[in-house]
A and B are shown apart, each in its own frame.
Chain A
Amino acid sequence: MVTDPVPLQLAADLFPNGISRYAVGGLLVGLGTVVIYLGTGIPAGASTFLESTLSYVSGQSRFQQYVASRDWRLVFTAGIILGGLAFAATVQSGVVTSSLYEPGTTGQLYEVAGVTLWTTDVQPWRLFLGGILVGIGTRVGKGCTSGHGVCGVGSASKTSLVGVLTFLTVAIGTAQVVSALGVSP
Chain B
Amino acid sequence: MADRHPLFKPLIFVGGLIFGFGLGFSHMARPEVVLNFLQFDDLGLPFVMFGAAIVSGVAFALLPRIRDAAPLTGNPYERRLKPFDRNVLVGGAVFGVGWGLSGICPGAAYASLGTGNVTILWALAGMFLGAYVQGYWRSRAAGSEPVPSGAD
Q: Report how far A78 CA is from B105 CA in the complex, Å.
A: 16
Q: Report how far A137 CA is from B129 CA in the complex, Å.
A: 12
A39 touching B95, Cβ below 8 Å: no
Q: Report how far A92 CA is from B53 CA in the complex, Å.
A: 25
Query: A29-B19, A163-B88 known; 20 other A-B pairs, CB under 8 Å?
Result: A25-B51, A27-B51, A28-B18, A28-B26, A39-B7, A42-B151, A62-B134, A62-B136, A76-B13, A77-B16, A77-B110, A80-B23, A87-B24, A120-B32, A132-B129, A134-B106, A136-B94, A144-B107, A149-B53, A153-B50
B33 touching A104, Cβ below 8 Å: yes
- B-chain residues with CB within 8 Å of residue A53 when the two chains form the complex: 128
A40 touching B24, Cβ below 8 Å: no
| Contact A32 B19, CB 8 Å, known A40-B12, A130-B98, A178-B100 | yes
Looking at the assembled complex, report how far the CB atom of B138 sits from the nearest CB atom of chain A, in whole angstroms: 5
| Contact A126 B120, CB 8 Å, known A27-B55, A153-B57 | no
Q: Residues 76-115 of chain B: 1 if any A CB is under 8 Å from the residue's CB, otherwise 0?
A: 1111111110011111111111111111111111111111
- A-chain residues with CB within 8 Å of residue B31 when the two chains form the complex: 120, 122, 127
Looking at the assembled complex, report how far the CB atom of B51 sits from the nearest CB atom of chain A, in whole angstroms: 3
B91 touching A141, Cβ below 8 Å: yes
Using a Cβ–Cβ cut-off of 8 Å, how many residues does chain A contribute to the interface with B? Answer: 132
Choose one: B94, B116, B120; the contact of A140 (CB below 8 Å): B94
Q: Report how far A134 CA is from B93 CA in the complex, Å.
A: 10
A142 touching B148, Cβ below 8 Å: yes
- A-chain residues with CB within 8 Å of residue B94 when the two chains form the complex: 133, 136-137, 140-141
Looking at the assembled complex, report how far the CB atom of A115 sits from the nearest CB atom of chain B, in whole angstroms: 8
Q: Residues 57-100 of chain A: 1 if any B CB is under 8 Å from the residue's CB, otherwise 0?
A: 01011110100110110011111111111111001100000000
| Contact A60 B75, CB 8 Å, known A19-B47, A79-B17, A176-B39 | no
B114 touching A88, Cβ below 8 Å: yes
- A-chain residues with CB within 8 Å of residue B83 when the two chains form the complex: 159
Q: Which residue of B lies closest to A168 (CB)?
A: B96
A19 touching B17, Cβ below 8 Å: no
Choose one: A22, A86, A153; the contact of B20 (CB below 8 Å): A86
Choose one: B47, B48, B110, B128; the contact of A46 (CB below 8 Å): B110
B96 touching A169, Cβ below 8 Å: yes
